A and B are shown apart, each in its own frame.
Chain A
Amino acid sequence: MQAATKVTQRTATAASGATVTVLSFCGDISSASKDTVLGAYRSLENASRVLLDFTSVEYINSSGIAIIIQMLLDADKAGTHTIGIFGLSPHFQKVFTMVGISKYAALHPDENSSLAAL
């Protein structure tokens, strides 16, 4: 049984002083998470700095990765957001790197280092 994905949104402050919107994901990410993930992305509107927090995500299957890739490509096309990712387990950090996600969003080990980079 897969745990349903949940997203919460909060703000943080980057090292540069800019406001950062943090989308925290929780649960597994799979094909069933499409509406949740893309819905959360669309609610960002004009937030220029966005961090995706995967700390509470246990597992992402190939369909889940496809959804994240789609989200990042949409963001890249729109050009309005700078996106960072943190909280991935070492396994999924490697998987994200393998599928080229690191070209569209910087991968960081934790929130502090990602806020420092923004």
Chain B
Amino acid sequence: MRNSLCLALLLILSAIAFAAPEPQPAPLVIHELGKGSVELGGPWQFHLGDDPAFAAAALDDRTGQNGWEELKSDQSWGSQTHPGYIGVAWYRKHLHVSPATGLKPEFSLLLHDIDDAYELYWNGVLVGRNGKMPPHGKHYYDQPAQTFNLGEMHDGVLALRVWKQALSSFDSDQLGGFNATPVLGSPEVIAATKAEIDYEWLRGRQYHFAITTLYALVMVLSFLSWLRDRSQRVLLWMAVFCFGPVAAIFLYGLRLPFSWDFSVGWGQPVLALQDIGLWFLLLWLLELDENRWLTRITRGIAVVNLISASLDGSMSLLDWSNPAITAAVQLADAIFTAITTIAEFWPLVLLAYAARKRLDPARWAVAISAFLMEMILVVRVAATQGVRFTHWTLGQRINLPLFTVLGNAFTAATLAQTALLFSIIYAVYRNAREEHQRRTEMEQELKSASELQQVLIPESLPSISGYAVTSAYRPAQEVGGDFFQIISIERDGRNSSLIILGDVSGKGLRAAMSVSFIVGTARTLAERHSSPAEILSGINRGLQGRLRGGFATCLVVRLDGDGRCVLSNAGHCAPFLNEHEIQLPGVLPLGVVADARYEEHAIQLRTGDHLVLYTDGLLEARTNAGELFSFERLTRLMARHPNAEQALAEAQTFGQQDDITVLTVTRLAAGAESSTQFIAPPLAKLRAIA
């Protein structure tokens, strides 16, 4: 305040002293400079166009002469007398400087917020520049204040050659040149002034930096989580959506020395990616992906949007200052931007479709806040398109701060971004909790089922006199419904063996419990019955109403010591005798019809005869391409008289889908030693599978 008062007094005195008419415009008189700084306010001389002579100290730049006029130093030329002017223009200011006594006469100039690039001259000598002048002009997207050391100075003329790039679709016509008054002072004071300006900028961005860092974290975590489970597409699209603000802060928000062309050019596809991320995020969050038509259209619009944005961005590679192409480039920019702007309203359609759905509140919270965040941005960008023609202020008003905290402006967009972050955190927390609950329940069920299965799978099998038996069992991923038992029975002094083999439809604990019931019933019936058909009938009656719409196929075989073999079947795959399938009539499986009747078939096994029993896991092994093992391949396999392990291995290699059980029985010559081989994964491994 004191400095200003002194200056004012000095100015008045000087004005009186220099009352005589001057050929040059009145210089700004600065006395005792050194104790502070002074804004080089007041009118500056201004001239459109470019001429190197405009830098010279001795030039006649009186107002009204040779095209020179006066402009205010703190407003753009676009908002004063030259709206929409692009190209080069010159500013000049005459200075009469007396440094404060005792101080070295070295001074610095602080320039900030000048559109777009400039060169600084002191008395005709180039002192410094920011950006690059045409041809091939280049300027930076966002620059901190620049300081220039002017060295020793007393009197002279400051000249600035300023270049404004051709206007893009969102540029207002009120741009160009100065937006803030230059400041002159001692190097220390100017440095301090710059530090203060920079500090205010940084302070006002803290919240934005913090939020963007959290978005970067969400992006990385989502992407990594998606890599672990590719079916969770929501996570991928969340990562893509979060990429937008993170990339944007690098391009626009950190004052990195990227050229305007680079920042805006890359900003177009980045914004498109953010749009696309939102659309697919909404599609998956709101369970709209089941609607094929909607998904296809979204994909189509996404492709169009990305291509359009990329083309729009790539146009910044062109030299807009080349007058031959400026109009064409601006038209192309307008068209591409129109395409992307229209596409950006697609989320409204998605939300309309989803409005009727009943989804949990966490999903809606994420969907709505993502939608709001995006649409505020979209509407703001859309409203500024062609603003130099429409003069709409909506775009500016949307961006006005609603309130400020510690210098950080909170706009509607900031609030939406914050809301989104919180809703994501909430949704993830809820999802993790539900997932954990589900997993615990599932693990519990699997544990119970596998414990049950371990009880049911025989640890060893009894040998059958006169026969060599091999058996192999391999469960599929989940606990399945295969079962088999070999029970030795004695009737009327004769020893026989009952082989019971079957498959309960379905998987998991329920199937395992059904198996447990069947095995228990079969063993109990075997104590009193040796007829396979009666055993089947007994199990069938017991299963009525227990299988809840499912069924159990079952084959019961009685092997007598003299080679007689009696079979009874309920819907199970017929066994093979040597290379031929035993012809058995089709019968409904167990548990379907209460009064089902089962037939018995007797065959005589001779020495060397090879009987193979199996479950449908063998038959329905499938390759990744969907080709089934099928009966033909099975017939060819059986012709080779495989043992159980060989048969199972072949199916496993082909592509196991379900539990596989194979049992082979070979009639031995009289006197030969019977053997039983049982291959199954060890119980510990069964636990691991569960």
A residues apposed to B, CB below 8 Å:
31, 34, 58-59, 61-63, 65-67, 69-70, 73, 90-91, 94-103
- B587 CB contact (under 8 Å) in A31, A58, A59, A100: A100
- B586 CB contact (under 8 Å) in A61, A91, A101: A101
B572 interface contact, C-beta 8 A: yes
Looking across the interface, which residue of chain A has its beta carbon closest to that of B574?
A: A98
B549–A70 touching, CB < 8 Å: yes
- B506 CB contact (under 8 Å) in A63, A94, A97, A102: A63
Residues of A close to B630: CB separation below 8 A: 90-91
Which B472-517 residues have a C-beta within 8 angstroms of A? Answer: 481, 503, 505-506
B586–A102 touching, CB < 8 Å: yes
Q: How far is the CB of B512 from chain A (nearest CB, A)?
A: 15
B300 interface contact, C-beta 8 A: no
Given A97-B586, A98-B571, A102-B586 in contact, is the A62-B616 Cβ separation under 8 Å?
A: yes
B549–A66 touching, CB < 8 Å: yes
27 contacts between A and B (CB under 8 A): A58-B626, A59-B626, A62-B481, A62-B503, A62-B505, A62-B616, A62-B658, A63-B506, A66-B506, A66-B550, A69-B589, A91-B630, A96-B586, A97-B586, A98-B571, A98-B573, A99-B551, A99-B553, A99-B586, A99-B589, A100-B571, A100-B587, A100-B588, A101-B586, A102-B586, A103-B586, A103-B588
Q: How far is the CB of B564 from chain A (nearest CB, A)?
A: 25
Residues of A close to B626: CB separation below 8 A: 58-59
Distance between Cα atoms of A70 and B589 in the complex (Å): 12
B residues apposed to A, CB below 8 Å:
481, 503, 505-506, 549-551, 553, 571-574, 586-589, 592-593, 616, 619-620, 622, 626, 628, 630-631, 658
Looking across the interface, which residue of chain A has its beta carbon closest to that of B572?
A: A98
B631–A94 touching, CB < 8 Å: yes
B592–A69 touching, CB < 8 Å: yes
Distance between Cα atoms of A65 and B626 in the complex (Å): 18
Distance between Cα atoms of A67 and B589 in the complex (Å): 13
Q: How far is the CB of A56 from chain B (nearest CB, A)?
A: 14
Q: A31-B506, A94-B631, A100-B588 are in contact. List 4 more A-B contacts (CB 8 A).
A: A69-B592, A90-B631, A97-B586, A99-B589
Distance between Cα atoms of A103 and B589 in the complex (Å): 13
Q: How far is the CB of B587 from chain A (nearest CB, A)?
A: 5
Looking across the interface, which residue of chain A has its beta carbon closest to that of B620?
A: A61
Residues of A close to B481: CB separation below 8 A: 62
Distance between Cα atoms of A59 and B588 in the complex (Å): 20
- Residue in A63, A69, A97 whose Cβ sees the most chain B Cβ within 10 Å: A69
Distance between Cα atoms of A96 and B303 in the complex (Å): 47
The 6 closest A-B pairs by CB, nearest first: A62-B505, A99-B571, A100-B588, A100-B586, A97-B586, A100-B587
Looking across the interface, which residue of chain B has its beta carbon closest to that of A101?
A: B586
B505–A66 touching, CB < 8 Å: yes
Q: How far is the CB of B117 from chain A (nearest CB, A)?
A: 57
A91–B628 touching, CB < 8 Å: yes
Residues of A close to B631: CB separation below 8 A: 90-91, 94
Residues of B close to A101: CB separation below 8 A: 586
Given A58-B626, A73-B593, A100-B571 in contact, is the A65-B505 Cβ separation under 8 Å?
A: yes
Residues of B close to A99: CB separation below 8 A: 551, 553, 571, 586-589
Distance between Cα atoms of A34 and B658 in the complex (Å): 20
Distance between Cα atoms of A45 and B160 in the complex (Å): 90
Residues of A close to B628: CB separation below 8 A: 59, 91
Distance between Cα atoms of A26 and B631 in the complex (Å): 23
Q: How far is the CB of A35 from chain B (nearest CB, A)?
A: 12
Q: How far is the CB of B657 from chain A (nearest CB, A)?
A: 8
Residues of B close to A65: CB separation below 8 A: 505, 551
Distance between Cα atoms of A32 and B392 in the complex (Å): 56
Residues of A close to B593: CB separation below 8 A: 73
Q: How far is the CB of A34 from chain B (nearest CB, A)?
A: 8
Residues of A close to B549: CB separation below 8 A: 34, 66-67, 70
Q: How far is the CB of A78 from chain B (nearest CB, A)?
A: 15
Residues of B close to A70: CB separation below 8 A: 549
Distance between Cα atoms of A31 and B481 in the complex (Å): 15
Distance between Cα atoms of A55 and B362 in the complex (Å): 43
- Residue in A58, A59, A96 whose Cβ sees the most chain B Cβ within 10 Å: A59
Given A91-B631, A94-B631, A98-B586 in contact, is the A63-B571 Cβ separation under 8 Å?
A: no
Residues of A close to B587: CB separation below 8 A: 99-100
Q: How far is the CB of B540 from chain A (nearest CB, A)?
A: 13
- Residue in A66, A90, A96, A101 whose Cβ sees the most chain B Cβ within 10 Å: A66
- Residue in A34, A67, A73, A94 whose Cβ sees the most chain B Cβ within 10 Å: A94
Residues of B close to A100: CB separation below 8 A: 571, 586-589
